[in-house]
Amino acid sequence: MRNIKLSLLLILVFGLAGCGKKPSATGIYLSELFKDKTYKKFDTAVFNAAVQFELKQQRGKLFNQKVLKRFFEEKSKSDTAWFITLIKDHQIDSLESFFNQSYKHGIAPELFNAKKIDSLKQRFNQGKFDSLRQLYTLMARFQVLTANAYISYASKMQYGCIDPSKIYARYYIPVERPTDSSLFKMLSKQNWVDQLNAIQPKRAEYIFLQKALDTCSDIALRAKILLNMERYRWKIPADSGRFVRVNIPSFNLVVVDTGKVQLTMKVCVGEKREDDYAAKKEIYLKSKLVEDKPLNHETPIMFGKLNNIQLNPKWNIPHSIAQTEILAKSRANPYYLVSSGIRVYNKKGETVDPTEIDWDSVNPNNIPYNFKQDPGDGNALGKFKFNFPNKSSIYLHDTPNKSAFKKDNRAVSHGCIRVADPLTFAKVLIQSPRLFDEIRIETGLPPLDTLKMGRYERKLEHQQAVGRQTRWITIQNSWPLFIDYYTCVPDSNGVKVYNDVYDYDNMLLDSLKRYLVKSNQNSVKQ
């Protein structure tokens, strides 16, 4: 049926094209290549009609039908068929090499129809067609499949196979994805081979993992490597050699400046969501009862700019914590709030004596109070809060509970990130001896500059009289902050693997496996 439709279309176009035309540039080239004057009759209008027919036949199978259609419409204005350029310049051989070697990135060459393209090329080179009509059909398919493979391959190398924001509910790093405009720009490049060379992943971590993949025979480890290679392909903001990165699975923070690691530190991150979270959430959405609400304290994957440090912070207790924890503790101990330095405010913003409230009668689904914890040794945020603008109310902070840093699994918080050594972290961020002494004095530590001891002593007296006061320190040159998720990273001893604390690897694998070489389509084992 396909051939009948195409034959009718070509007959129609042949008729409209008419006779007496001068040979096209493509026709002249083909006649010289095959030593046959018949090919001087090559009609670009007929050929372009065959290309448009092939595009329709491939509908639903192409990476971006709209962009390819536009590209070939542009190419139809030329007297030279576009496939001639690929063959004359030997670009097609190099392009095939890229497609066939996609397995080195863990991506299946079958995605790019590499064998079909090679077969069509061989048929052309060997002259395995009996008429111009067969040539039109053969080369139309060759053009469409090659252009489609090119943008599909280029997109996967430059942007990754998966859009992380589509599979992770809490992925807030801005990630660039291919657009119609960017794909058309790729197609419009003069030399496709140069373009594919230019967009190969260049991050050092990616190249390290790629080399490790080449020598790795362990199936589970190969899967880990492949998943994290995909993460390194995602086009997120550049780090510029100066940044702070928190890697959730490693429970670790690193500060890098001028491309060199300045500080590494243990952190605690958000606790993993409850088992059967999705099913429990469905129940909660129907009942709207707090007791049915499943817990999900997982730290979001985020990007921002650390721009200030809050010393001796107050803790504005989130409503969700008030519902699930504060109310229960207040019912168990009427003096819990007072002893913890937590103030209670009604909806008018007026302070309320917590000992005069009948907490047993308070409905957890509609608590009419707000809670704030004063600065002090018992404050849940400790003495430091490191802020960056975001919509999730996430920040880094100190903690009075240092024992959690001794645990192997440090996914223990309500979502914010606890840092093991906030004083040193603050020192590295501000890079100012003067401001660092100010920080020490405000947090009850003697200054390094002995000339400031008098001020320190006066501050201590003041704090003893009225308590610690909250103060803000601006970070003059804000730090890019990445809160990311890598379960497999380069290490001086090889590849370092971390537990998939939020089960994000299997979520990614479910979406990625259709792109992978078949031998790599295995579940990730911890």
Could you read off the pLDDT of 33-67 as tens digits, one per residue? 888 888 889 898 999 999 999 999 999 999 999 99
pTM: 0.90
The DSSP bridge pattern shows strands 417-419 and 396-397 to be parallel
How far apart CA 98 and CA 92 sit, in angstroms, is 10
Residue 349, helix vs strand vs coil? coil
CA distances in angstroms from 414 to 134, 272, 297, 516, listed in the order given: 67, 10, 5, 36
CA distances in angstroms from 13 to 24, 44, 49, 448, 480, listed in the order given: 16, 10, 7, 87, 59
Q: Are 329 and 292 in contact (CB under 8 A)?
A: no
Could you read off the pLDDT of 302-332 as tens digits, one per residue? 999 999 999 999 999 999 999 999 999 999 9
Mean pLDDT of the chain: 92
- Percent of the chain exceeding pLDDT 90 equals 82
Q: Where residue 18 falls among pLDDT bands split at 50, 70, 90?
A: very low
Residue 28 is predicted with a pLDDT of 87
Residue 24 is predicted with a pLDDT of 84
Residues in the chain: 526
Q: Where residue 2 falls among pLDDT bands split at 50, 70, 90?
A: low
Looking at the DSSP bridge assignments, the partners of residue 419 are 267
How far apart CA 65 and CA 290 sit, in angstroms, is 48
Q: What DSSP assignment string belongs to 450-483?
A: GGGHHHHHHHHHHHHHH----EEEEEEEEEEEEE
Residue 10 is predicted with a pLDDT of 45
Catalytic residue among 105, 268, 397, 488: 397
Could you read off the pLDDT of 252-277 as tens digits, one per residue? 999 999 999 999 999 999 999 999 99
Q: Is 319 in the active site?
A: no
Task: Give the Cβ contact number of residue 280 at 10 Å.
Answer: 17
Residue 523 is predicted with a pLDDT of 46
Residue 16's contacts (CB-CB under 8 Å, 6 or more residues apart) are 45
What distance lies between CA 211 and its chain's CA centroid? Answer: 22
Residue 79 is predicted with a pLDDT of 67
Token couple for 286: 């129907």
How far apart CA 240 and CA 224 sit, in angstroms, is 27
Query: What is the average per-residue pLDDT within 168-187?
Result: 97
How far apart CA 437 and CA 450 sit, in angstroms, is 10
- Residue 3 pLDDT exceeds 60: no
How far apart CA 416 and CA 433 sit, in angstroms, is 28
How far apart CA 323 and CA 320 sit, in angstroms, is 5
Catalytic residue among 161, 216, 268, 416: 416
Query: What is the average per-residue pLDDT within 450-462?
Result: 93
- Residue 80 pLDDT exceeds 80: no
Q: Are 313 and 320 in contact (CB under 8 A)?
A: no
Residue 125 is predicted with a pLDDT of 87
DSSP state of 414: S
How far apart CA 318 and CA 381 sit, in angstroms, is 13
Domain ranges of the chain: 2-197, 202-235+488-520, 306-314+374-481
CA distances in angstroms from 524 to 134, 300, 521, listed in the order given: 48, 22, 9
Of the candidates 117, 116, 55, the residue with the CA atom closest to the CA atom of residue 87: 117
Residue 397 is predicted with a pLDDT of 99
The DSSP bridge pattern shows strands 411-413 and 396-397 to be unpaired
Q: CA quadruple 415, 420, 425, 427: dihedral positive or negative? A: positive
Q: Where residue 84 falls among pLDDT bands split at 50, 70, 90?
A: confident
Q: Are 175 and 165 in contact (CB under 8 A)?
A: yes
- Beta-sheet strands, E only, within 82-241: none
CA distances in angstroms from 7 to 2, 10, 40, 239, listed in the order given: 9, 5, 20, 56
Query: What is the average per-residue pLDDT within 84-105?
Result: 91
- Percent of the chain exceeding pLDDT 70 equals 94
Q: Is 416 in the active site?
A: yes
What distance lies between CA 249 and its chain's CA centroid? Answer: 15
- Residue 121 pLDDT exceeds 60: yes
Burial class of residue 293 (count of CB atoms within 10 Å of its CB; 0-12, 13-18, 19+): buried
